[in-house]
Chains A and B, each alone.
Chain A
Amino acid sequence: MRYFTHDPESAVEHALAGLLGFTGVSLQRVGTHLAVVYPENGNRKVKVVVGGGSGHEPLFLGIAGPGLADGAVAGQVFAAPSPDAIYAVIEAVHADEGVVLVYGNYSGDVLNFGVAADDAKANGLQVAEVRVHDDIASAEISRLEDRRGIAGDIFVIKAISAAADLGMSFRDVVRVGEKTNFQTRSLGVASRAATAIDTGQPMFELPEGEIEIGMGLHGEMGVRRSAYQPAEVLVPQMMEMLVADFEQTKLPLARAAVMINGLGSTTVLELLAISGHVRKFLDLHSVPVAYQAAGQFATSLDMAGFSITISGLDDELEPLLAAPCQSFCFTRP
């Protein structure tokens, strides 16, 4: 497979130029960094800065906007941004009370955001970190905080941003973020590896005709490989695993927000069909769905596959997830 972009570094730079020309939301670039701010979320005392590697478009730069992140920073393809770039965004969002950093729980992101947070604290800024850990395939429930973050990033960013829009205090915004993080669980499946931009070669081995349940956004090992199965067989199995995971933490799924996320080259036709199977499962199990989205939100270049994300809602989270927002990545009217 050959991409229309051939060099990863210039691809990322050009994609940022494309995003800055996106007419939906007016973003500003931060210096020469791969970073943007949306300065118009006026009511917030607490600002939300998100980030992670490139290759997951429309995340991460694409989720800055009204009702969503105030700042977003990207690294190179599948690599965390540097502390300098993150720090530049922390400064650029000009928070009155504090900045909450939201990112997926990967060692590179933890290290780089951690250094930036330490630098900011040393300079008298109030900073907290919310490490999204929604991928149930990446570690046992007993090691919840070791799990990696996948498409659940979006619900966590959405809820935390809506909390900031309500003018909540720093402590409360962080609390909402941690709560959404805890109550958001995802599971992915892949049928074909992503292709490296520079070599045009698959980034890992996944034999033709096999699928891997739980494969991560960068090809990380999942829970099991099996022969191909169609969505109507696969989706109920994945939903059983998600529901069981909620039950293990004594978190009944009273109401749910659902996101079906394509990993890059899974068609909209497939995503809609998968969405239908997910809804059928939840209806059968009498779980009311407050919100359901299907599309490409957190991709892995051109990986073929999808993830299902479920947020367990309560009276606090439901209106936060329902509040209007707009961005290249995710919009609610």
Chain B
Amino acid sequence: MPVVLFHQTLTRGDEMSINIEQTRSLVARALEDLAAKRDDLNELDRGLGDGDHGTTIARGAKAATDALREANLGSVNEVFTLTGRAMMRSMGGASGVLFGVFFQGAKACAASPVLDTRTLHAFLKSGLEALKQKTKAEPGDKTMLDAVVPAITALEQANQASATLGTALEQTAAAAERGARSTAGLLPRFGRARTLGERAAAVQDPGATSVSVFLRGLADHLPEG
């Protein structure tokens, strides 16, 4: 059952940034969307794992929204680092560490009172660097990187084009979704799925899908002005 946690009025239009409270609300809503996809993600994971990715990520998303609700936040970075820490604590499995370090990439970035295209790009890029410390996976290996890397590229382009935050998030979500879809047909090269080889090729990667669901949530919940 979806619960509306935060009642911030967000305005899209020519907004270039949102403040800490708006970011808290936005991330929490995207996490709720992620938790709501539990059964779909489990179904994907049945094709190449043990069918628990949705349950695991929903547990992490719930822990993260709980942590966000109670936290005193001094920067938008903390919205992401708290999310990552809560996921790492609560999820277990490879995905707990991987999503955990990815979201905690914001810790290494300069503290910011607002979220704009540039800060989000810095967070995701730093998250990607943290992921590379933990896995040797490359794009095309059927992992969450297949959504993360195109999302970062899209954000970079939106930033260079001085796009509004709304446009940037939309383009980022679309790129992540394309990336996640592209994993269908790829051979898994990492994790337990690797050993399934051809048996797991047809399925879309659940980790990449989760990344795209979260980024889609960010785009969707920045309401039209």
A residues whose Cβ falls under 8 Å from a Cβ of B: 8-9, 53, 75-85, 106-108, 111-112, 114-115, 138, 148, 196, 198-199, 201, 203-205, 216, 218-221
Contact = CB atoms under 8 A, between A and B. Distances in A.
A199 B51 contact: yes
B199 A221 contact: yes
B56 A76 contact: yes
B89 A220 contact: no
B134 to A, nearest CB: 6
Residue in B90, B94, B134, B135 with the greatest tally of chain A CB atoms within 10 Å: B94
Contacts of A79: 50, 52, 56, 92-93
Interface of B: 46, 50-52, 55-56, 88-98, 134-135, 190-192, 195-197, 199
B10 to A, nearest CB: 33
Nearest to A73: B92
B52 A82 contact: no
Nearest to A205: B199
A218 B97 contact: no
B50 A196 contact: yes
Contacts of A219: 50, 196
Given A76-B93, A79-B56, A218-B50, A108 B191 contact: yes
B195 A83 contact: no
22 contacts: A8-B52, A76-B55, A78-B52, A79-B50, A80-B93, A81-B92, A82-B88, A82-B92, A83-B88, A107-B191, A108-B93, A108-B95, A108-B96, A108-B191, A111-B134, A115-B88, A196-B46, A199-B51, A216-B192, A219-B196, A220-B195, A220-B196
Contacts of B46: 196, 199, 201, 203
Residue in B56, B89, B191, B192 with the greatest tally of chain A CB atoms within 10 Å: B192
Contacts of A81: 92
Given A79-B92, A83-B97, A111-B97, A220 B56 contact: no
Contacts of A106: 192
Contacts of B91: 82
B56 A82 contact: no
B195 A77 contact: no
A67 B195 CA distance: 35
List of 5 A-B pairs having minimum Cβ-Cβ separation, nearest first:
A79-B93, A108-B94, A220-B195, A111-B97, A75-B92
